[in-house]
A and B are shown apart, each in its own frame.
Chain A
Amino acid sequence: MPMMNNIQAVNDALMYEMEKDKSVMVLGEDVAQIGGVFRGTSGLLDKFGSERVVDTPLSENGIIGTSVGLALNGMKPVAEIQFSGFIYAGYDQLVSHASRLRQRSMGRFHVPLVVRMPNGGGVRALEHHSESYETIFIHVPGLKVVYPCTPSDVKGLLTSSIRDPDPVVFLEHIKLYRSFREEVPEGEYTVPIGKGRIARKGKDVTIVAWGAMVNVSLEAAKKLEQNDIEAEVIDLRTLKPLDKGIILDSVKRTGRAVIVEESQRISGYASYLSAIIGEQCLLYLKAPVSRVSGYDIKFPLYRLEEKYLPGPESVIHAVNNIMSF
């Protein structure tokens, strides 16, 4: 199997799906000629031509809104928003239309649309280039939200997202694009939407994470091992629909849960997960569910980004707290 990093996995999935299904097209700012600012769409223009691989005018609202129309008329647009921090003008179309057309038309229409977005911080970027606002997508009825961490999952889940009949917000962590490589299955490869994975087994505490926080949690788990604490790490992979089972099973075994998110704490996804665990595992819990989050401030310019981002130390701090509860 070839070795790939996350951005190569994005590219590989697109290549395969575009080859297989003529209705799949890619559109966004700078995606065609230069293959996107992260090169996720590199080589697609040469292979599939300028009708299916399109440099659009600079308009997020235009990209998403016309993608809705394209999808309604039989295309399968994979739209790229250059950074998730620039989605907001396009968010209108996601919330008001992409997510609702099936519901509004009581099933007559549907919008098979994928919106790919680099997301998250940690690469010394400018303002608006480090955001983690995944909750604003999760909150919208009718949107699926996928956020893989490993190259295989990126490929498998992007493929599934393109094949999904409904709109999928596909988040790609910027810091993970080129941070590591692994063997990725060649050709056709899917990972089902809505299924988490156990990234590490353990019996003392369950750490739930997604995106770059999976690696942070794994690092913390390794250090905790030295203190004889065996942490189980769950990589959610899909945020919505949620794999509730994988979380509840694990927490029932360990009796303790720490949820790690990069985004702001107030109304973060961790608060929802925490509520579910509280509702469904109360009698198994040996300590209150703990959340590790970013802070409720604008993501700082880069001199302070390390202070903002949850690191292994924050996770260890939380685990130690609930272990000694």
Chain B
Amino acid sequence: MDEKYLFNVKKGETLHIVDQDGTYDQDLDPGIPEETLLKMYRMMVLTRTYDEKAIKLQRAGRMGTYPPCSGQEATQAGSVFALKKDDWLVPSYRDICSMITLGISMKDLFLVWMGDDNGNRIPEGINSLPINIVVGSQLLHATGFAWAANIKKENIAVLTYVGDGGTSRGDFHTSLNFAGVFNVPAVYIIENNGFAISTRNKQETHAETLAQKALSYGIRGCRVDGMDVIAVYVAAKEALDRARKKEGPTLIESLCYRFGPHTTSDNPDLYRTKEELEKIMSKTDPVVRFKNYLIKKGIWDDKKESSLQEEAGDLVNKAAKEAEETPPPKFEELFENVFGNMPDYLQDEIDHYRKVSGGE
């Protein structure tokens, strides 16, 4: 393990490499190749654009409920970039940037929020489970998935996320406990965005940090500045590498902030002031910070920025249009996917449906 990346959960130290103005710690900077950096930035900008479009579509009645992820792009992109080809992602509902970064199409992601079950059909070849809405329950799937890799002697790692609120559920405790006992190759990132809907950290736990919970499971834990994509990448990469080498699971608390409402049906004015939000957004924004870093490195400028923004807008609009124009699945398809082989009673129900609805 590389000494310079050691950080101590007990002391509550937070790994931080890049400042908001883009200056960075030369010693800690991992020297990610330029091409990779630009890809990472692209994913974050795409996601920010997607997020804004999704909210607009919902407000216009063209899409259902959507949980925005702005403010969390660095946590998500930074960790997914640390995955290797055969690794797996186990996302929650808010991990849009992770899913886009992994290569899931924005059209499919729109389809989910547009109420189309086909949006959750992750294409073969993309190593991700569908989004999960039952808070924290995906952690257990990640643990089991990684456990199977041990049994099958596969050298892969599994990456999963949970919100700060999700750490209050029994699922969090159980999955990390199993993870420790079975030494599974998984990395658990707590996206500490400050809120579980309206509930703040203080009302979720009496512990000083969420990372320190790792201690009680005998696994490694750390804290990272979640507005800093480089720091997240470094922490996630080290944890994933260790996992693949069977050196044990890691719990990472990534400190970020939810810029948007909990979902489009939430009214954040009831629990946080506009001043609080503006203060944080003006001081720290993961996308802006990364841009400043790229500029400091001399590989980004205004011209590149505006052409990326334009391209992102076009891609997102195209994806949304395609999703809107996609015909809904056939009702029958839902029956066909209850089991591998459809039992007679479901065929009877389809027949009944056709009779009542006047055929289809």
Partner of A304 from B197, B270, B329 at Cβ < 8 Å: B329
- Identity of the chain A residue whose Cβ is nearest the Cβ of B349 in the assembled complex: A295
With a CB–CB cut-off of 8 A, which chain A residues contact B265? 37
Whole-angstrom distance between the Cβ of A222 and the nearest chain B Cβ:
19
A126 at the interface (CB under 8 A from B): yes
Contact status A34-B271, CB under 8 Å: yes
Annotate B242-266 by CB proximity to A: 1 below 8 A, 0 otherwise. 0000000000000000000000011
Complex alpha-carbon distance, A305 and B203, angstroms: 36
* A residues 92-124 touching B (CB-CB < 8 Å): 124
Q: How many A-B residue pairs have CB under 8 A?
A: 114
A301 at the interface (CB under 8 A from B): yes
Of residues 123 through 161 on chain A, the ones whose CB sits less than 8 Å from some CB of chain B are 124-129
Within 8 Å of chain A (Cβ to Cβ): is B214?
Answer: no
- With a CB–CB cut-off of 8 A, which chain A residues contact B196? 29-30, 58
Which of B136, B331, B346, B357 has the most chain A CB atoms inside 10 A of its CB? B331
Q: Which residues of A contact B169 (CB under 8 A)?
A: 58-61, 89
The answer to whether A125 touches B170 (Cβ under 8 A) is no
Binds A, one of B114-122, B291-299, B307-315: B114-122
Write out, one digit per residue, whether chain B residues 45-71 have a CB within 8 A of any chain A CB (1) or not (0).
Answer: 000000000000000000011000000
B131 to nearest A CB, angstroms? 9
Nearest CB of chain B from residue A49's CB, rounded to whole Å:
15
| In contact, A296 and B338 (Cβ under 8 angstroms) | yes
Contact A55 B117 (CB under 8 A): no
Given A126-B93, A266-B345, A303-B115, A313 and B338 contact (CB-CB distance below 8 Å): no
Contact with A along B182-219 (1 / 0, CB 8 A): 00000000000000111100011100000000000000
A302 interfacial by beta-carbon distance below 8 Å: yes
In the complex, whether B1 has a CB less than 8 A from a CB of chain A is no
Measured CA separation A61–B205 after assembly (Å): 16
- Chain B proximity mask over A239-281: 1 for CB below 8 Å, otherwise 0: 0000000000000000000000000011000000000000000
A307 with B204: CB separation less than 8 A: no
Instruction: Tell me whether B32 is interfacial, beta carbon within 8 Å.
Output: no
B residues in contact with A125, CB < 8 Å: 64-65
Tell me which residues from 325 to 347 in chain B have a Cβ below 8 Å from any Cβ of chain A.
328-329, 331, 334-335, 338, 345-346
B151 at the interface (CB under 8 A from A): no
**Docked pose: A317 CA to B119 CA in angstroms:** 33
0/1 string, A300-318, CB within 8 A of B gives 1: 1111110110000110010
Whether the Cβ atoms of B328 and A303 lie closer than 8 Å is: yes
Total interface residues on A, using CB and 8 Å? 40
A47 to B114, CA, bound (A): 40
Contact B199 A30 (CB under 8 A): yes
Q: Is residue A33 contacting chain B, with contact meaning CB distance below 8 A?
A: yes
Query: B133 interface residue, CB < 8 Å from A?
Result: yes
Do A304 and B170 touch across chains, with their CB atoms under 8 A apart? no
- Nearest B-chain residue to A302, judged by Cβ: B115
Task: Note all chain A residues with C-beta closer than 8 A to B165.
Answer: 57-58
The answer for the CA separation of A246 and B188 in the assembled complex, in Å, is 55
Report yes or no: B115 in contact with A124, Cβ–Cβ below 8 A: yes
Contact A126 B199 (CB under 8 A): no
A128 CB to nearest B CB, Å? 5
For A295, list chain B residues within 8 Å (CB).
335, 349, 353
Q: Which residues on B sit within 8 Å (CB–CB) of A304?
A: 115, 117, 328-329, 331, 334
Give the distance in Å from the alpha carbon of A137 to the alpha carbon of B222 in the complex: 42
User: Is B286 an interface residue, CB under 8 A from the partner?
Assistant: no
CB distance from B345 to the nearest CB of A (A): 7
Q: Which residues of B contact A128 (CB under 8 A)?
A: 133-134
CB distance from A79 to the nearest CB of B (A): 15
Of all chain A residues, the one with the shortest Cβ separation from B195 is: A30
Which residues on A sit within 8 Å (CB–CB) of B271? 33-34
**Structural contact, B115 and A305, CB atoms closer than 8 A:** yes
| Complexed CA–CA distance, A56 and B200 (Å) | 11
| Chain B residues with CB under 8 A of A60 | 169
B198–A30 CB distance below 8 A: yes
A283 interfacial by beta-carbon distance below 8 Å: no
Shortest Cβ distance from B190 into chain A, in angstroms? Answer: 13
Query: B: which residues have CB within 8 A of A?
Result: 64-65, 93, 112, 114-117, 119-120, 133-136, 165-166, 168-171, 196-199, 203-205, 265-267, 270-271, 328-329, 331, 334-335, 338, 345-346, 349, 353, 355-357
A-B complex: 3 closest residue pairs judged by Cβ atoms: A302-B115, A57-B168, A58-B165
Q: Add 4 more A-B contacts to A58-B136, A304-B115 (CB < 8 A).
A: A86-B134, A302-B115, A305-B115, A313-B356
